[in-house]
């Protein structure tokens, strides 16, 4: 009876220790990182067993029944030591192979599930060899009974085995890996992990789904990370027949380029897709590396499209049914003629008088206002009120400039290329972009919107009208431009070289000559 108990205990210890050895290595530590720690990790358990075996034998010899059993079975201890020495050698070989692969900069090529199965099979093979060679057991009946038990369990657990084999197939083919974004019938999300039975997926909404491996293996799978994460998206937009297709296409492509998640290469492209009863349809196509965020990215692109269209006067047509069109024509026929809606000139005048254009630029020698409300009222029909959304580029360094702006609300982020690069922030009320019109030079900085912004825009026509309001305005702007140009150079030089720059009077006369040229003088 004592002998049976001891053999059962030994068998349980072997099974438990073997199961611990067969567990995935990365659950305990990181075995792929080169170094002494990885060797210790793989050799610790078998080394401890071999080191503690003599002490355990001494304790058992103090128990008479156990000592009698060990005396009757003298080969059990050497077989035990050979078994664990074999496990030690297997761990040493695995550790060396892992180190070589890691030092070469490659990932461990064997999937986790297959690694567990191979380790378990090698341990069982080692156990059978020890039983046959060291103890002289006839393992034929043991193998036969094992095969019979396997067949019975396989029939009873065919669903579990189906998931197991499917999981092995997924790991061998590397169809999905941890961290991949996948989409299949009714399920889309990021693979959290896979094991012997199931694949766990975290959806975009944060739900964790447990999907059997047989379902994953049998589904039509869209892996958004492989062979490349680059995917093409598209947005359908309509525009009226009165808008030139080239202008619409340029606005669409510019809107896509200003979204950070859209790749610059391949470049966004827009094409005409159809001529409908109520307008022309366009398709904007662009590429991203975050296809799982496509709805959010599409929304950002559409947001930029609205602002681009609004500023350029491009209309998005409203599809009309026959009934809606008839009702509309009835209302038009019966209503009286209304006065045409004009621009909100009062608000334009108010915003101009509250800006630096009035309080800092157009001031006389005593600091008083050079322009009056009547002057701004004359300009207001020529000034455009424009809306910009977050992340749009108002102007780029090195571009030609034919407009300048007054920032009514929001903030602009400015940047000048280095070395070193310079960044700054522009607050509401500031005048920006005027130097290109005043001097004829290219833009000296890049300005982008930090959030939603509202600006008043002066084009060339409005600028000429501004110059013609008063005789002293060209001279005042020439003085301002020369001072501003010197101040800008001084600020940049001080940041880069610690030097300062004086005002160049020759530049002042050249700027004044240019401004008078606008007026034909």
16 and 67 share one domain: yes
Q: Is residue 455 part of a domain?
A: yes
391 and 480 share one domain: yes
The whole-angstrom separation of Cα 74 and Cα 70 is 6
215 and 238 share one domain: no
Residue 179's domain is classified under what CATH number?
Answer: 2.30.30.60
Q: Is residue 167 part of a domain?
A: no
- CA–chain centroid gap for 389, Å, is 20
Provide the CB-side half-sphere exposure for 386 (13 A, CA): 24
Average pLDDT, rounded, for the chain: 79
138 and 186 share one domain: no
For residue 278, give both structure tokens.
Answer: 């109520």
Does this model's pTM top 0.95? My answer is no
Total domains, the chain: 4
Q: Is residue 329 part of a domain?
A: no
CB under 8 Å to 357, separation ≥6 — which residues? 406, 431
Write the pLDDT tens digit of every residue in 274-302: 998 889 999 999 999 998 899 999 999 99
17-to-83, 92, 123 alpha-carbon distances in Å: 12, 17, 10
Write the pLDDT tens digit of every residue in 260-273: 999 999 999 999 99
> 420: closest CA among 493, 488, 501, 484?
493
Report the percentage of the chain scoring pLDDT > 70.
73
Report the sign of the C-alpha dihedral through residues 126, 130, 133, 136, in that order.
negative
Q: Which residue has the higher pLDDT, 418 or 379?
A: 379
145 and 193 share one domain: no
Q: Highest-confidence range of 121-135, 398-412, 505-519, by mean pLDDT? A: 398-412
- Is the peptide bond prior to 227 cis by the omega test (within 30 degrees of 0)? yes
Q: Is residue 339 part of a domain?
A: no
The whole-angstrom separation of Cα 100 and Cα 181 is 31
For residue 134, give both structure tokens.
Answer: 């060291």
Report the percentage of the chain scoring pLDDT > 90.
31
Q: Is residue 132 part of a domain?
A: yes
213 and 240 share one domain: no
367 and 502 share one domain: yes
36 and 141 share one domain: yes
204 and 292 share one domain: no
32 and 122 share one domain: yes
For 466, the domain range is: 345-518
Write the pLDDT tens digit of every residue in 204-239: 888 999 888 888 888 888 888 888 899 999 999 999
206 and 244 share one domain: no
80 and 200 share one domain: no
Write the pLDDT tens digit of every residue in 4-58: 445 545 544 555 455 555 444 444 444 445 556 666 666 777 778 778 877 877 7
Residue 270's domain is classified under what CATH number?
Answer: 3.30.70.100
Instruction: Check pLDDT > 60 for residue 3.
Output: no
Residue recorded with tokens 């700027």: 511
Beta-bridge partner residues of 198: 212
């Amino acid at each position: 009876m004592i002998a049976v108990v001891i053999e059962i205990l030994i068998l349980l210890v072997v099974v438990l220790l073997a199961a611990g050895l067969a567990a995935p290595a990365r659950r305990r530590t990181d075995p792929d990182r080169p170094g002494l720690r990885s060797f210790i990790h793989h050799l610790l358990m078998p080394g401890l067993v071999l080191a503690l075996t003599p002490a355990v034998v001494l304790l058992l010899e103090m128990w008479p029944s156990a000592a009698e059993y060990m005396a009757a079975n003298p080969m059990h201890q050497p077989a035990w030591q050979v078994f664990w020495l074999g496990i030690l050698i297997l761990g040493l070989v695995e550790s060396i192979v892992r180190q070589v692969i890691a030092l070469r900069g490659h990932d461990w090529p064997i999937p986790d599930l297959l690694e567990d199965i191979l380790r378990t099979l090698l341990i069982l093979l080692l156990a059978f060899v020890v039983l046959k060679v060291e103890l002289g057991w006839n393992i034929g009946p043991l193998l036969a009974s094992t095969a019979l038990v396997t067949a019975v369990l396989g029939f009873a657990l065919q669903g579990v085995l189906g998931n197991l084999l499917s999981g092995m197939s997924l790991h061998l083919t590397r169809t999905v890996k941890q961290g991949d974004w996948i989409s299949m019938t009714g399920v889309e999300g990021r693979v959290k992990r896979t094991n012997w039975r199931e694949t766990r997926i975290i959806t975009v909404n944060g739900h964790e789904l447990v999907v059997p491996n047989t379902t994953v293996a049998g589904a039509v799978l869209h892996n958004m990370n492989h062979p490349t994460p680059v995917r093409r998206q598209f947005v359908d937009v309509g525009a009226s027949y009165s808008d030139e297709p080239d202008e619409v296409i340029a606005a669409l492509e510019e809107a896509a380029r200003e979204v950070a998640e859209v790749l610059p290469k391949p470049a966004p492209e827009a094409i005409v897709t159809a001529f409908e009863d109520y307008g022309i349809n366009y398709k904007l196509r662009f590429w991203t590396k975050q296809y799982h965020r496509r709805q959010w990215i599409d929304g950002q692109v559409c947001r930029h499209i609205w602002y681009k269209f609004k500023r350029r006067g491009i209309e998005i047509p409203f599809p009309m049914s026959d009934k809606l069109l008839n009702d509309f024509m009835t209302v038009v026929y019966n209503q009286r003629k209304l006065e045409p809606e004009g621009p909100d000139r009062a608000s334009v005048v108010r915003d101009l008088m509250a800006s630096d254009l009035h309080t800092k630029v157009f001031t006389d020698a005593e600091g008083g206002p050079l322009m009056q409300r009547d002057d701004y009222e004359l300009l207001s029909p020529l000034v455009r009120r424009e809306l910009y959304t977050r992340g749009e580029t108002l102007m780029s360094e090195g571009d030609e400039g034919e407009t300048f702006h007054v920032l009514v609300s929001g903030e602009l982020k400015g940047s000048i290329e280095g070395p070193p690069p310079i960044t700054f922030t522009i607050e509401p009320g500031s005048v920006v972009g005027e130097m290109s019109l005043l001097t004829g030079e290219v833009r000296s900085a890049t300005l982008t919107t930090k959030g939603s912004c509202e600006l008043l825009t002066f084009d060339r026509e409005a600028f000429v009208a501004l110059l013609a309001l008063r005789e002293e305005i060209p001279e005042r702007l020439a003085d301002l431009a020369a001072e501003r140009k010197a101040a800008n150079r001084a600020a940049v030089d001080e940041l880069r070289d610690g030097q300062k720059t004086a005002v160049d009077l020759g530049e002042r006369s050249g700027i004044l000559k240019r401004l008078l040229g606008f007026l034909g003088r």
